[in-house]
A and B are shown apart, each in its own frame.
Chain A
Amino acid sequence: MILAVASGKGGTGKTLVATNLARVLGKVRLLDCDVEEPNAHIFLNPEITQKIEVGIPVPRIDESSCTYCGRCAEVCAYHAIVVARHKVLIFPELCHGCGGCAPECPVEAISEVERPIGVVELGKAAEIEFGHGVLNVGELSGVRLIKELKKQMKGGLEMVILDAPPGASCPTVESVRNADYCLLVTEPTPFGLYDLSLAVKFLREMRMPRGVVINRAGLGNDDKLKDFCRGEDLPVLAEIPFDRKIAEIYSRGGLIVEQIPEYRIVFQDLAKRILEHK
């Protein structure tokens, strides 16, 4: 089973849920897809054994055959190419590496060169097979890096957990895509509820089976959140209380399932309910 953990709003507890769930499940693979600010490694302390450099293909123009027709600049959706009368300019940091320009060139003057955008790191944390992507500072889009990281979904394990980035845009959609089930971690605040509704919207469009974990339960407008879940037919699979002890353990980089027995039970039950949805 491939399980994505997403949220909409940032800071609701995706990584808390993903890492603690991975620990109670034992032999799983956890891929931290939040390549802009990966942090699952802080809780799992994996030993990194493999690094894969990831780049995107950026166009290079052979100006000796270029006719300055401007077709490449016309097709570039990101305006990474400017063609003037006798000059072609490439803006590598605007290029998304879509590969659209080269096949459009009528004189085949465009070749592609790799521009590094980050690295995929793989390793082990006890039984957990760990992987994450680290996007270089200043890069616009981590989608290519997430794609490369998700190649690690293959290979024998019964459970792969994808810790997705917050939001409802390209990196989140890319992270969640092809999962069998998506766990949405939310909190009972107006922001948590609103952003949850955005996440539900794109998951509905993807026809992705989904359920909710309420973190910081008891903090605020719990009833409104539950009304929403009922209305959307979203099962609430677990509630994690608003508990100072959790914050303390988390802020030290610890796992609550290792330090507080009752949370071990909460996460075991959560795992069971997710597997029932298979």
Chain B
Amino acid sequence: MKIAVTSTGKDFQSQTDPRFGRCANFIIYDTETGILKVYPNSAAEAAGGAGSQATQAVADAGAEVVITGNLGPNAARALQEIRIPVYRFGSGTVTEAIEKFRAGKLELIQGPTVASHHGTKKG
């Protein structure tokens, strides 16, 4: 299974990024091969449409599950319709996020958790 984690950095020890559409990187971890791949998020600085663009990116990368902090309305709709379940992880490292997910300790996100353009706010 390929797990996508939104991340501020590029490895297992990086902090996760609470934003989905405007996260810095997607880290895709393949549980079968143990291989970690980093996809810089080209939507991070987008004026609009970041949620749909990021969804396209994780779908193209073959992710079957997404772990992130928050979802905007477009991303929530897109991920739900293409049947990629999204799990909520507060804060910590990519490793902690994956471990918690595997232990069944992450809660499923059912819809948007923030309004449109939330991820453009700083700080």
Contact = CB atoms under 8 A, between A and B. Distances in A.
Nearest to A94: B49
B contact patch SS: helix
Interface string B36-49: 00000001001011
Contacts of B49: 78-80, 91, 94
Name the interface size band of chain A.
10 to 19
B78 interface: yes
Contact of A89 (B46, B48, B60, B78): B78
B74 interface: yes
B53 A89 contact: no
Contacts of B81: 87, 89
Name the interface size band of chain B.
10 to 19
A140 B56 contact: no
A252 interface: no
A94 B48 CA distance: 8
A81 B74 CA distance: 11
A84 B52 contact: no
Contact of B59 (A79, A81, A85, A91): A85
A87 B56 contact: no
Interface of A: 70, 73, 78-85, 87, 89, 91, 94, 140
Interface of B: 43, 46, 48-50, 52-53, 55-56, 59-60, 74, 77-78, 81-82
